[in-house]
Amino acid sequence: MTADASPQPTSPLLPRAARVFVAGHRGLVGSAVARRLAADGHEVVTRGREQLDLRDAARTEAFLCDVRPDAVVLAAARVGGIMANSTSPVQFLEDNLRIQLGVIAGAYAAGVPRLLFLGSSCIYPKLAEQPIREEALLTGPLEPTNEAYAIAKIAGITQVQSYRRQYGAAYISAMPTNLYGPGDNFDLATSHVLPALIRRFHEARESGAPRVVLWGTGTPRREFLHVDDVAAACALLLERYDGDAPVNIGCGEDLPISELASLVREVTDYRGEIAWDTGKPDGTPRKLLDVSRLTGLGFKPAVPLRDGIAATYAWWRSRPTP
């Protein structure tokens, strides 16, 4: 098995009306993947965290042996923005290692023939050449604000590759860029930037605040992909990709956080100023993914950033208040 993409099969790798266990089905990505797979005619199997804590490897293996799905999508993880990653590296390392160990090993023990593991674009070196090709993995030092999370995700990629190389399992990995959409986390202490900006501008407009203070310098660049697009990419990979190398998932375009802020300010109709708290971390300066491997399989993102932000804002505003 080489590190390059394998030739693509002509027949689907996922049977029609497959039973797919979506781990993390209540999360941003897992919920979108579950919707997409159900719409494609698959049977989606789920378990809430209160029924099955995926850090418990023995219970996870017993569940998978009992259910015996045709495929597993591993979208359960400890996930968060730059501040949560910086302040809780122990949980980001240990929870993710434990979830991955239990789900991937449990799937193989249960004879599950197909598995998709989701990593993240933060696995690549902080100063990787842009756009970042999959081959950049393990070629340089990582971004310190999310090193623990990145190392857990890199271990997941190696675990998946090891099951392929040693046992011939059709297990694959995908590395999404920064994601957003309905179902995102809007808690300002733990969220990613996009929901944080929506909430900050909305609340400033409602309260009449003259300025909104954002983190860092506004100069870092980020690429944003709507969850419906990432779900479409996951479905495509499950059906068409069976290679050793991880596959980047992105839209191929990025923008500075300062421009993103201007866009969100417009969408939320906030008329005040934007200020920057440069005491807060910037994180990696840029992480634009090279998505040629994915587009070569036929992927094309469908949701323009402005439309996606407007839809996410509408979703958040219409949520039931606790």
Ligand X SMILES: NC(=O)C1=CN([C@@H]2O[C@H](COP(=O)(O)OP(=O)(O)OC[C@H]3O[C@@H](n4cnc5c(N)ncnc54)[C@H](OP(=O)(O)O)[C@@H]3O)[C@@H](O)[C@H]2O)C=CC1
Ligand Y SMILES: C[C@H]1O[C@H](OP(=O)(O)OP(=O)(O)OC[C@H]2O[C@@H](n3cnc4c(=O)[nH]c(N)nc43)[C@H](O)[C@@H]2O)[C@@H](O)[C@@H](O)C1=O
Point out which residues bind ligand Y (CB under 6 A).
Answer: 80-83, 85, 120, 122, 146, 149, 178, 191-193, 196, 214-216, 220, 222, 257, 280-283
Q: Which of residues 58-77 bind ligand X (CB under 6 A)?
A: 75-77
Q: Is 176 in the site for ligand X (CB under 6 A)?
A: yes
**Contact of residue 282 among ligand X, ligand Y, none (CB under 5-8 Å per partner type):** ligand Y
> What is the distance between the alpha carbons of residues 83 and 31, in angstroms, rounded to a whole number?
24
**Contact of residue 191 among ligand X, ligand Y, none (CB under 5-8 Å per partner type):** ligand Y
Contact yes or no for 289/250 (Cβ under 8 A): yes
Using alpha carbons, select from 95, 79, 73, 101 the residue that is nearest to residue 171.
73
Residue 161 beta carbon to ligand X: minimum distance, rounded to whole angstroms = 17
**56 vs 94, beta carbon nearer ligand Y:** 94
Contact yes or no for 269/207 (Cβ under 8 A): no
Amino acid at 128: A
Catalytic: 149? yes
| Dihedral (CA of 53, 59, 60, 66) sign | negative
Q: Which of residues 214-243 bind ligand X (CB under 6 A)?
A: none
| Size of site (CB under 6 A) for ligand X | 23
Residue 84 beta carbon to ligand X: minimum distance, rounded to whole angstroms = 10
**52 vs 122, beta carbon nearer ligand Y:** 122
> What is the distance between the alpha carbons of residues 25 and 21, in angstroms, rounded to a whole number?
9
**Contact of residue 75 among ligand Y, ligand X, none (CB under 5-8 Å per partner type):** ligand X
Q: Is 25 annotated in some ligand binding site? A: yes
Q: Is 30 in the site for ligand X (CB under 6 A)?
A: yes
Cα 322 to its chain centre, rounded Å, is 26
Q: Is 153 annotated in some ligand binding site? A: yes
Instruction: Give the H/E segment covering residue 259.
Output: helix 257-268
CB atoms closer than 10 angstroms to residue 266: 13
Looking up tokens 């996009």 gives 194
**14 vs 23, beta carbon nearer ligand Y:** 23
The residue whose Cβ lies closest to ligand X is 27
Give the SS3 label for residue 310. helix
Instruction: Give the H/E segment covering residue 31.
Output: helix 28-39
Contact yes or no for 275/34 (Cβ under 8 A): no
Q: What is the CA radius of gyration of the chain?
A: 19
Q: Is 222 annotated in some ligand binding site? A: yes
Beta partners for 222?
255
Q: Is 182 in the site for ligand X (CB under 6 A)?
A: no
Q: Is 178 annotated in some ligand binding site? A: yes
Q: Which of 108, 124, 149, 270 is catalytic?
A: 149
Query: What are the residues binding ligand X (CB under 6 A)?
Result: 24, 26-30, 49, 53-55, 75-79, 99, 118, 120, 176, 178-179, 185, 192
Q: Which residues are catalytic?
A: 149
Binding-site residues sit at 24-30, 118-121, 153, 176-179, 192, 200, 215, 222, 282
